[in-house]
Structures are given as structure tokens and as C-alpha cells.
Amino acid sequence: MSESQAKPRRRGFMLGAAVAGAATAAVVTLPQTQAVPQATDDKAPPPPANGGGYRVSEHVKRYYKSTRI
């Protein structure tokens, strides 16, 4: 391998390492964002007293429709 072929590879590696380091530094210094709490569904009935808790909701009905052949 000649000297002229080795230099571009080395430069590419060093450039990639510099870009990765800069990206890491940018991510670390970005301000942390807090998740916005989701509003709870007040329409949901309370869980049953004797356990269980399964109920057929609209989401479940859509799933059952999607599994039909």
C-alpha cells in the first residue's frame, strides 16, 4: 500500500471521529426537556373489586376486526 492511499483513509477516520465527538458534545449540552403529562381518561370505569379488569373497549374492538380473515 502506498503512502498516498493511506493518508485519505486516515483523514477520513479522523474526520469521522471529530464529527462523532462534536455530535456527542452537542447532545450532552442540549437542555433536557420534560415530558408533558397526559390527561387521564375520566370516563374509564373503576376496576372491578374482585379482580379481572378486562373490558372490551374501542381499541380492543378494532384489534379484533383487524384479525378477521
Residue 10 lies in a domain: yes
Residue 41 lies in a domain: no
Q: Mean pLDDT across the chain, nearest whole number?
A: 77
| Mean pLDDT of all residues in 1-15 | 68
pLDDT score, position 42: 67
- Contact at 8 Å (CB) between 8 and 14? no
Which is more confident, 25 or 37? 25
Say how many domains are in the chain: 1
Residue 14 lies in a domain: yes
pLDDT score, position 7: 65
Residue 51 lies in a domain: no
Residue 62 lies in a domain: no
Residue 18 lies in a domain: yes
Residue type (1 letter), 7: K
Range of 8's domain? 1-29
Place of cell 376496576: 47
What 8-state DSSP symbol labels residue 16?
H
Residue 45 lies in a domain: no
